[in-house]
Chain A
Amino acid sequence: MLSVRNIVKQYASHRALDEVSLEVPEGKIFGLLGPNGAGKTSLIRIITQITGPDSGEVFFNGQRLNADHIAQIGYLPEERGLYKKMEIGEQVLYLAKLKGLSTQEATKRIKYWFEKLEMQDWWKKKVEDLSKGMQQKVQFVATVLHQPELIILDEPFSGFDPVNADIIKNEILELNKQGATFIFSTHRMESVEELCDHIALIHRSKKILDGSVGDIKSTYRSNTYWVEYEGTYSLNQADPIFSVLESQQLGNITRIKIQLRPGQTANQVLIALLPHVSIQRLDEVIPTMNDIFIEKVKNVN
C-alpha cells in the first residue's frame, strides 16, 4: 500500500537517508527499526509530508504521495504533546477537524473513543491536569480518530505503564484487524516480535535488512538446538550428525547445545540419541529480533 522508492534526504553535511526503498504491505504491521539517529524519523517525516525528499518517490495506494493523502494518514510522533491550556475534548476536536472531519462527526467519534478507553470525564480537563500516561492515551485517540488507512506510530509505548501499554497494544491489534496498516518505529525489540509482521532495519541512513519477520528469522537459523537428556551418551567431536557447542551437567540431566552438520536433521539426532538416553527436551535455538538487530548493526560497523 505504501511504496518508498530510492529516497535520499541530505541535510547540510549529513545524509539522513541514502537510497532507501521499502514496501509496506496492506493490512500489515510494519516495523521500522534502527538505532537512534539512523534516519527513521527522517523517513517518517517524508511519508507524513512534513519534509520532502531530495530525490526518490513515495507512492500511496499506487498514487504519488500528495496533500490529499494527509487525511488518510495518522501520525503519532515521538516528540509529541498537546496544548497545555486547552481542554482535552476541545483539543482532540480541533486536531480531528484539521484532518478534515466535520464537528458533528468528530464529536461522535471522540465520545466513542473516550468511552472505549474510559476517559469520558476528561473532556473538560486541561492537559496540565493529566498524567503523562493519560496524555498519551489522548494523543493515541487523536491519531486514530479520523480512521486513517495508514497509522504511523513512533515509539508508541514509551512512557506507558504496562497496563495502559497493554490497552493500547490491543487497540492497535483491533484496528489492524479492521484493515488499518501500521508503521511502527521503535528500537524496542520485544514489542516488535509481539506485533510486527514485516520489518525493515535502517542503520546509518541505509536500509540494511527487510522482509517478513518469519522469513528473516528463518534465514538467521543456524541449525542449532538445545538438547536435554538423562543417561549417558559419549559425546564425540567427530560425531557425523552434529557438533557439540556447549555441554553442562545438571544433576542427572545433561544439557548440550549442538549444531547439525550440513544435510542432517533434528530427527537424525533423535535417532542417534534415543537408544542410549531418555530425551527430556529438544528445541531449536531461534535468534530473537534483538539478536538479529545487534548482529546486523555490529556487522555493518
Chain B
Amino acid sequence: MATNKTLLIIEREYMSRVKKKSFIVMTLLGPLIIALFYGLIIYFSIQGVSGTSDKIAVVNENKTITEKLKSNKNIQYEYVSKSLAEMKKSVKNSGYDYILYIPDFPLDKPEGVQILGEKQAGMNLSGRVSDHIEELIRNQKLKASGLKQADLDNLKSSVNISVKKIAETGAEEDSSAGASTIIAYVSGILMFIFIMLYGIQVMRGVIEEKTSRIIEVMISSVKPFQLMLGKIVGIALVGLTQFLLWIILTTAISTAVIKVFVSEDDMKQTTMVQNDGTKMTSAAAVKDSPFGDIQKSMANLEVGKIVVVFLFFFFGGYLFYSALYAAIGSAVDNETETQQFMMPVMMPLFLGYALSLSVVTNDPYGSIAFWLSMIPFTSPIAMMVRLPYGVPDWQLALSMVILVVGFIGTVWVASKIYRVGILMYGKKTNFKEMVKWFTYKN
C-alpha cells in the first residue's frame, strides 16, 4: 500500500515531466548543441593550425643576427627597411597586422624586442614569435661556436611521446593524457550540470505544490516522506532518461558532425604537418598530438565502466543534493525567497566543480584529489574527473559507500524539515527556524 503510493507519485512526477514540450525539445536539442560545440572546437583547433595567419613587418636593427625569421602558416614575416618611427605612423594602411621591432642587442643579452599593433598581440602570438627569435639567437650562437648549417638542420627533431600505463597484468596499455583529460572534463561538467539542473527541478516541484496549495490535499493521502521520495526518484528517472537519450543521440550526431567538419584531407594534412618537423612549431605540436591518439586510447579507456560509475554517482550525488533542495523548497513560499538557502548548498557543488577541473586534473592521484573524491559534497564530480586516469578499486568502493551513507543522511534530515515546512504558509523562514522544525516530533 505504502510503496504503491510512492510508485504512483513517481509515475506522476516522471510522466508529467517527460510529456512536457520543454523536455522533448531539450532532449533533442541538447546533443545537437553539445555535438556542435565539440565539432566547432575540433574544427577551430585544426583551423588554428592551418588557417588564420598574421602578417608581421619586421624592423630589424640588429646587426649580429644574420639569419632571417622564417614565415610559417600562422605567421608571415616580412622584413622592411623603414625605421620603427616611420612604420608606427603608417601601420594603419600598411596591410600589416603587427610590427616586430628587434633592436640591436648583444647575443647574450636580448632585450627590447617589441610587438606593436592596433590590436594587442595575444599571448599565443607573442609566445610563438619569442620562440622563433630564441631559435635564431640559438642558431647564431651555435654557428659562432663553429657549427655549420647542415649540422644545425641535423639537430632538429620532433618527438611525440606515447604515454602508456602498465596494467595489473603487466601488459602495456595505450593511454593518452589528452583523452583522459577530455573525458574527465566532459563527465565532470555533465555531472555538475545534471545535479544542478535536476536538484533545482526538485526544489521547483516542491515550491509548485506549496504555491498551488495542493500539498495539504496530498498530505492527507500520503506521508510527506513518500511524497518527497516519490518526487526525488521520479525526477531522477527523468534525468536518467534524458542522459541515456543524450548519449545515444550525441554519439550518433557527433560521429556525423566530425565526419562533416573534419574531412579526410584535414586529417592527412594534420599528420603531414606533424611529421614535417621543420614546418612545425613547438606550440602547435603539443596541441595537435592528442587528436591522433584519442581514437586509439578511447577504446582502451573502459567506457562501459565510466558510464556505469557515472550513473551511480549521478544518482547518488543527485539524491544527496536533491534532498537538500527539497528541504529548501519546503521552507519557502516562492522561488525568490530561495536565495539565502541556495548559497550554502551550491557552494560545495561549485567548489567541487572548480577544484576538480583544476587541481584534480593536474594531480589525479594527490591527496586533495583523494579527499575531494571521498567527501560526498564533492565526490560525484571529483570521482568522475579522477576516473579516466585510473582509480584504485578500494577508493572507488569507499567513495560509493560514503556517498550512500551521505544521501541517506541528507534524505533523513531533509524529510524532517520538509514535513514541517510544506505546511507553513506566509512565514519568512530562516535557518534557526529550520533547525527548530528538525527537532519537532511527528
- Given the interface pairs A77-B220, A94-B12, A95-B217, the reply to whether A100 lies near B1 with Cβ below 8 Å is yes
CB A48 to nearest CB in B, in angstroms, measures 5
A-B contact count (CB 8 A): 69
CB B12 to nearest CB in A, in angstroms, measures 6
Enumerate chain B residues within 8 angstroms of A86, measured Cβ to Cβ.
16
- Given the interface pairs A12-B436, A51-B442, the reply to whether A75 lies near B217 with Cβ below 8 Å is yes
Q: B214's contact among A45, A52, A82, A99, by CB below 8 Å, is which?
A: A82
* Interface residues of chain A: helix, strand, loop or mixed (majority): loop
CB A222 to nearest CB in B, in angstroms, measures 41
Tell me the nearest residue of chain B to A99, going by C-beta.
B221
Q: B216's contact among A52, A77, A100, by CB below 8 Å, is which?
A: A77
Interface presence of B70 (CB below 8 A): no
Please provide the chain B residues from 166 to 198 with a CB less than 8 Å away from any CB of chain A in the complex.
Answer: none
- Given the interface pairs A70-B221, A85-B16, A100-B1, the reply to whether A80 lies near B441 with Cβ below 8 Å is no
- Given the interface pairs A95-B221, A139-B217, the reply to whether A54 lies near B441 with Cβ below 8 Å is yes
Interface presence of B218 (CB below 8 A): yes
Enumerate chain A residues within 8 angstroms of B12, measured Cβ to Cβ.
94
- Given the interface pairs A12-B436, A86-B16, A94-B8, the reply to whether A50 lies near B212 with Cβ below 8 Å is no
- Given the interface pairs A52-B441, A54-B441, A97-B8, the reply to whether A83 lies near B212 with Cβ below 8 Å is yes
Interface presence of A98 (CB below 8 A): yes
Tell me the nearest residue of chain B to A97, going by C-beta.
B8
- Given the interface pairs A51-B442, A54-B441, A94-B8, the reply to whether A83 lies near B214 with Cβ below 8 Å is yes
Interface presence of B78 (CB below 8 A): no
Interface presence of B423 (CB below 8 A): yes
Interface size on A, residues (CB 8 A): 32
Most interface-central of B209, B425, B441 (chain A CB within 10 A): B441
Interface band, chain B? 20 to 34
Q: A81's contact among B16, B214, B222, B441, by CB below 8 Å, is which?
A: B214
Enumerate chain B residues within 8 angstroms of A50, measured Cβ to Cβ.
216, 219-220, 423
Interface presence of A200 (CB below 8 A): no
B214 touches A98 (CB 8 A): no
Interface presence of B213 (CB below 8 A): yes
Tell me the nearest residue of chain B to A74, going by C-beta.
B220
Interface presence of A246 (CB below 8 A): no
Interface presence of A161 (CB below 8 A): no
Enumerate chain B residues within 8 angstroms of A83, measured Cβ to Cβ.
16, 208-209, 212, 214
A45 to B440, CA, bound (A): 15
Interface presence of B132 (CB below 8 A): no
Interface presence of B55 (CB below 8 A): no
B212 touches A98 (CB 8 A): no
Most interface-central of B2, B8, B213, B221 (chain A CB within 10 A): B221
Interface presence of B88 (CB below 8 A): no
CB B109 to nearest CB in A, in angstroms, measures 74
Interface presence of A73 (CB below 8 A): yes
CB B204 to nearest CB in A, in angstroms, measures 12
A97 to B222, CA, bound (A): 11
A80 to B217, CA, bound (A): 7
Enumerate chain B residues within 8 angstroms of A48, measured Cβ to Cβ.
220
Please provide the chain A residues from 67 to 95 with a CB less than 8 Å away from any CB of chain B in the complex.
Answer: 67, 70, 73, 75-77, 79-86, 94-95
Interface presence of B5 (CB below 8 A): yes
B217 touches A81 (CB 8 A): yes
Most interface-central of A48, A98, A100 (chain B CB within 10 A): A98
Q: Mark A7-26, 1 if CB is under 8 A from B, else 0.
A: 00001100000000000000
CB A28 to nearest CB in B, in angstroms, measures 21
Enumerate chain A residues within 8 angstroms of B221, measured Cβ to Cβ.
70, 95, 98-99
Q: A77's contact among B209, B217, B222, B436, by CB below 8 Å, is which?
A: B217
Enumerate chain B residues within 8 angstroms of A76, measured Cβ to Cβ.
217
B220 touches A73 (CB 8 A): yes
- Given the interface pairs A70-B220, A70-B221, the reply to whether A79 lies near B213 with Cβ below 8 Å is yes
A94 to B9, CA, bound (A): 9
A70 to B216, CA, bound (A): 13
Please provide the chain A residues from 88 to 130 with a CB less than 8 Å away from any CB of chain B in the complex.
Answer: 94-95, 97-100, 127
Please provide the chain B residues from 203 to 246 with a CB less than 8 Å away from any CB of chain A in the complex.
Answer: 208-209, 212-222
CB B299 to nearest CB in A, in angstroms, measures 45
A73 to B425, CA, bound (A): 24
B214 touches A80 (CB 8 A): yes
- Given the interface pairs A52-B441, A100-B1, the reply to whether A81 lies near B212 with Cβ below 8 Å is yes
Q: Could you jot down 12 A-B contacts, CB within 8 Å?
A: A11-B440, A51-B442, A67-B1, A70-B221, A73-B220, A77-B213, A81-B213, A81-B217, A86-B16, A94-B8, A98-B221, A127-B212
B residues with a Cβ closer than 8 A to A are 1-2, 5, 8-9, 12, 16, 208-209, 212-222, 423, 425, 436, 440-442
Top 10 nearest A-B pairs by Cβ distance? A81-B213, A52-B442, A77-B216, A81-B212, A75-B220, A98-B221, A81-B214, A48-B220, A79-B213, A50-B219
A45-B423, A80-B216 provided; 4 other pairs, C-beta below 8 A? A76-B217, A80-B217, A83-B16, A84-B212
